[in-house]
Structure 1
Amino acid sequence: MSTENSFDLLRGADPARPPLALIAGPTASGKSDLAVALALELARRGRRAVVVNADSAQVYADLAVLSARPSAGDMRGIAHRLYGAWDGAVSCSAADWAAAARVEIAAIHADGAVPILVGGTGLYIRTLLDGIAPVPAIAPEVRGEVRALPLDEAYAALRREDPARAAMLAPADAARIARALEVVRSTGRTLADWQGEVSGGIGPAVTLHPAILLPDRAALYARCDMRFARMIASGAIAEVRALLARGLAPDLPVMRAIGVPEIAGFLRAEWSIEEASRRAAQATRNYAKRQFTWLRHQPPAHWPRLDYDNFDIDVTKEILFRIFHLT
């Protein structure tokens, strides 16, 4: 996969590999506004574009405020897909999202438009482009048994049953330890074995035009803090109250999304709204840090990275357009 020039993005040099723009960045980096700006610029040049969500929180209908999902005004008349497409009662895995994204992108291409993929969920992006290992469904009894183990026991078991995977994981990485252990116990094969059979990625079928946003970290953290304060003022508490009223399972992704546990604690009178805000802002910064790590090291080295500390849309748009050779 390589970055092509603006003519290819606008017209498509190879009909067999239509264009796909990708704007990936950490939370609060301004990527949604940049995706709309790119779509408007392509429209000005005679090519319609559609924004496709690749954010694991923005897929849920229940998280309009806490996921900072673009409003109708933010979209500025540009079509957006896969925003709020899942009910919170249904978990949206990377495979689920990638299957839906493949359908949306194919339809956009068939309509002669350019899909602009935007988000910061690395697993979603990697699964769509590179494919996914065909791991069979985990036996429910195995999953229950593994998830019931204390973390230290689960890690010790993984060191015995899949030592190579255990050596790759931190002893506190509960989710990945449980996943690796349940795979080897349910299928009799390690996760690495399954990952050797990755398939289904659309990378070879498209001409990818990627841009990785890497804003100044201190400036980004300040934006994270301010944005959560705006979320509180914009109805985040009511959003969480409505979620809690549904009685959803606490292990569902929508119930673990940043801001939900913290505000839920406030609603249960476990701490103040100030403490909830502090906890959620810290969780947001931690998440942004993990995204930075993934974005710096996981995408191919030749994908353009945008380093900036000025979040003014005109400034960042100019940088983005230069990467796409539109200026």
Structure 2
Amino acid sequence: MPHHPAPEETLPVIALNGPTASGKSTLAVDVALHLAAHGQPAEIVNADSMLVYRGMDIGTAKPTQAERRGVRHHLVDVLDVTEVATVADFQDRARTAIADCRRRGVVPVLVGGSALYQRAILDVFEFPGTDAAVRARWEARLADEGPEALHAELARRSPAAGAEILPGNGRRLVRALEVIDLTGSHAATLPAWTYAIPGVRAWGLELPRDVMDARIAERVDAMWEAGFVDEVRRLEAAGLRRGRTAAVAIGYAQVLRFLAGEITQDEARADTVRRTKRFARRQLGWFRRDDRIAWLAAGDPGAAATIAHDALGPDALTTDAPQQRCGGGEQAHGQRR
């Protein structure tokens, strides 16, 4: 008998990524609304590990209800700051949301700036097991010696993993060392570039480094002006310091140090800018390794139409989004898929 594809096999999954402050969240809503205007419902699936936390709004640049413009967002505000968010848990939640969208005839638009989370969701990506005793041992060393000591140990045992993980990310350092102890290798976190989900259409936003750095500085300034320190103070009262994942988020960790009297507020602000710039460059570098991604200039007024029409197919192309708008994107998708 002939095979009749289910909706989850025929509807695309739009994956939108790029560095911090490149405009991903706004573009994702634009794409969803453009699809809806052509009769194709679309919803957004968050792939940012910190947008899942309730109350972490200013420091994560979480889209407000007004900025969402009526488009449903999945995996936003689903955890308290004291709860732990793992990549494996996020993978399960996001894949469930994507499958739910497609079963309902809705195009999922996956958006986030972390290559690790995007790949864990979209690619064949299995996680090694865990051992509570091994993890506890490394967590104890983290508490006693600090993340820099663990990073040095990781770099000695696995130079590739040491280059991948930032020296200040204690949670990921503990996990990487745990995996090495259990498997002898950290290679399990770097699988082949193979989609586990059919129909992925991956797009990235790019912008010059000086523009990216300027946008990041402006965003951090805006965070402080919007009351970021007060937000962290409220979350601290709600248990933020107990949150193994939420408390290490860039910006939040720096303000917590300020509130503890370890650094000045100006130092917290400057360190937030510095670490965000470093994170954005590192993430853009990881995305650049993925040749399945078609790139568009951040701020391109035709980007939403390009992405939406690519997802809908060539019959949807209209004069309001000429093919030259694609910047090579549609040709690239045609070659890859």
TM range (shorter): 0.7 to 0.9
Q: Does 1:283 align with 2:275?
A: yes
How high is the TM-score relative to the length of structure 1? 0.80
Shift of 1:52: 0.7
Q: Distance in 2 between matches of 1:120 and 1:255?
A: 19
Structure 1 partner of 2:301: 314
Write out aligned runs for 1:84-163 (5 A): 84-139=77-132, 141-149=133-141, 150=145, 155=152, 159=156
Q: Does 1:183 align with 2:175?
A: no
Shift of 1:216: 1.4
Q: Distance in 2 between matches of 1:284 and 1:154?
A: 19
Shift of 1:148: 3.6
Structure 2 partner of 1:244: 236
Letter in 1 for 2:208: D
Q: Distance in 2 between matches of 1:68 and 1:234?
A: 11
Letter in 1 for 2:226: S
Q: Distance in 2 between matches of 1:157 and 1:295?
A: 23
Q: Are residues 314 and 307 of structure 1, via their aligned partners in 2, closer, same or farther at CA, if it must alter by over 3 Å?
A: closer
Letter in 2 for 1:261: A
Structure 1 partner of 2:57: 64
Residues 155, 177 of structure 1: 8 Å contact kept? no
Q: Distance in 2 between matches of 1:275 and 1:295?
A: 30
Residues 158, 180 of structure 1: 8 Å contact kept? no
Q: Are residues 290 and 158 of structure 1, via their aligned partners in 2, closer, same or farther at CA, if it must alter by over 3 Å?
A: closer
Gaps (5+ residues) in structure 2? Answer: 322-337
Structure 2 partner of 1:3: none
Q: Does 1:37 align with 2:33?
A: no
Q: Secondary structure at the match of 1:218?
A: helix
Structure 2 partner of 1:5: none
Q: Does 1:305 align with 2:292?
A: no
Q: Distance in 1 between matches of 2:263 and 2:282?
A: 27
Structure 2 partner of 1:6: none
Letter in 2 for 1:112: G
Q: Distance in 2 between matches of 1:35 and 1:63?
A: 20
Q: What percentage of residue pairs aligned between the two structures are identical? A: 31
Structure 2 partner of 1:233: 225
Letter in 2 for 1:213: L
Q: Distance in 2 between matches of 1:60 and 1:168?
A: 27
Letter in 1 for 2:212: L
Q: Are residues 178 and 92 of structure 1, via their aligned partners in 2, closer, same or farther at CA, if it must alter by over 3 Å?
A: closer
Letter in 1 for 2:227: G
Deviations for 1:162-198, whole angstroms, at most 9, x for unmatched residues?
A: x5x346534984756543432243x3x22357569x7
Q: Distance in 1 between matches of 2:108 and 2:234?
A: 33
Q: Secondary structure at the match of 2:301?
A: helix
Letter in 2 for 1:145: R
Q: Secondary structure at the match of 1:169?
A: helix
Q: Distance in 2 between matches of 1:291 and 1:154?
A: 18
Shift of 1:24: 0.5
How high is the TM-score relative to the length of structure 2? 0.78
Instruction: Select which of 253, 260, 282 maps to 1:261.
Output: 253
Q: Secondary structure at the match of 1:203?
A: coil
Structure 2 partner of 1:216: 208
Deviates more, 1:88-97 or 1:228-237: 228-237
Q: How many residues align?
A: 302
Structure 2 partner of 1:8: none
Q: Are residues 49 and 265 of structure 1, via their aligned partners in 2, closer, same or farther at CA, if it must alter by over 3 Å?
A: same
Structure 2 partner of 1:74: 67
Shift of 1:202: 9.6
Q: Secondary structure at the match of 2:55?
A: helix
Cα-Cα RMSD:
3.2
Shift of 1:28: 0.8
Structure 2 partner of 1:47: 40
Gaps (5+ residues) in structure 1? Answer: 1-11
